[in-house]
């Protein structure tokens, strides 16, 4: 009987010990889960916490430049200006003016200088042999020179990143869409653009802006068809007032 009592007491002690260890382990696991990055229950990580960089009610002025990198016949360099008014943190309206500078790509000269086949010599009306069988674009391409565009900007993503754990920068990722007038050397056409970009905020009043946009517009003669020109641009944005209003 004495041995049975000792056995029961030992069993109760073991159960109590295991129960305590299980409670401690559960509490530790629960604490670890609540402290995981991205858990909205963690203090200070709630997605509705105030932004450090705010745009609502502010004016944004941007100067920048870029290149159109996929036109088959022309190389473009762009200088552009943007004015944006931010109605909300996620919504803004932008007016954009761009001045385009262009020059012919080597392809145009290559087409014009295609040699004739010596075995099948061609002759002019004066019986002069033709040695150049190239193709000359007549008229020449009609590059656009000035762009006047209105855009809606939607910024659904706001975040921050660290550089070598020393400097924290905040950023927006935005989508852009709009339409306007594309003025070329010999013609004017209505077109539109869509794209995406990011703004890396350096301080309360300055940001680096990077855009990737697609211009869709009808080209003038000799092509006379709708084309897509993709533009990559970089600029510096300045915000007014220089300090956002404090949230209540």
Q: Tens digits of per-residue pLDDT, 47-104?
A: 445 677 889 999 999 999 999 988 778 889 999 999 999 999 999 999 999 999 988 8
**Three-class SS state of 85:** strand
pLDDT at 83: 98
Average pLDDT over residues 23-34: 51
pLDDT at 192: 95
Determine the distance from the C-alpha atom of residue 27 to the mean position of all C-alpha atoms in its chain, rounded to a whole number.
44
Percent of the chain's residues with pLDDT above 90: 42
Q: How far apart are CA 154 and CA 84, in angstroms?
A: 12
Q: What sign does the CA torsion over 194, 189, 186, 71 have?
A: positive
**pLDDT value at 36 more than 50:** no
**pLDDT value at 37 more than 50:** no
Q: How far apart are CA 32 and CA 34, in angstroms?
A: 6
Q: How far apart are CA 85 and CA 152, in angstroms?
A: 10
75-79, 90-94, 141-145, 156-160: the lowest-pLDDT one? 141-145
What is the enclosing helix (H) or strand (E) of 32? helix 2-34
pLDDT at 18: 52
Across the strands, what pairs with 139? none
Q: Is the peptide bond before 222 cis (omega within 30 degrees of 0)?
A: yes
Question: Which residues have CB under 8 Å from 129's CB, separation 6+?
Answer: 121, 122, 123
Q: How confident is the model at residue 226 (pLDDT cuts 50, 70, 90)?
A: confident
Q: What sign does the CA torsion over 8, 10, 16, 21 have?
A: negative
Average pLDDT over residues 214-239: 87
Average pLDDT over residues 210-221: 88
Report the alpha-carbon angle 189-61-163, nearest 5. Answer: 115
Helices (H) and strands (E) in the chain, counts: 2, 10
């Amino acid at each position: 009987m004495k041995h049975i009592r000792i056995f029961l007491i030992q069993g109760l002690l073991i159960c109590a010990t295991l129960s305590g260890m299980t409670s401690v382990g559960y509490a530790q696991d629960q604490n670890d889960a609540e402290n995981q990055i991205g858990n909205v229950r963690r203090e200070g990580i709630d997605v509705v916490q105030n932004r450090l960089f705010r745009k609502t009610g502010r004016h944004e002025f941007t100067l920048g430049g870029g290149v159109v990198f996929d036109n088959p016949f022309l190389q473009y360099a762009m200088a552009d200006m943007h004015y944006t008014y931010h109605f909300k943190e996620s919504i803004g309206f932008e007016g954009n003016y761009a001045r385009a500078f262009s020059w012919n790509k080597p392809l145009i000269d290559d087409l014009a200088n295609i040699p004739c086949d010596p075995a099948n010599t061609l002759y002019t009306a004066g019986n002069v042999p033709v040695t150049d069988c190239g193709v000359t674009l007549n008229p020449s391409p009609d590059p656009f020179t000035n762009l006047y565009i209105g855009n809606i900007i939607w910024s659904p993503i706001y975040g921050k990143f660290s550089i070598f754990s020393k400097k924290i920068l905040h950023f927006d990722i935005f989508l852009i869409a709009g339409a306007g007038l594309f003025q070329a050397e010999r013609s004017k056409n209505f077109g539109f653009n869509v794209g995406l970009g990011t703004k890396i905020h350096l301080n309360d009043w300055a940001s680096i802006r990077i855009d990737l946009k697609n211009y869709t517009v009808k080209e003038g003669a000799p092509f006379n068809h709708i084309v897509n020109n993709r533009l990559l641009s970089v600029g510096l944005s300045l915000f007014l007032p220089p300090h956002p209003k404090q949230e209540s």
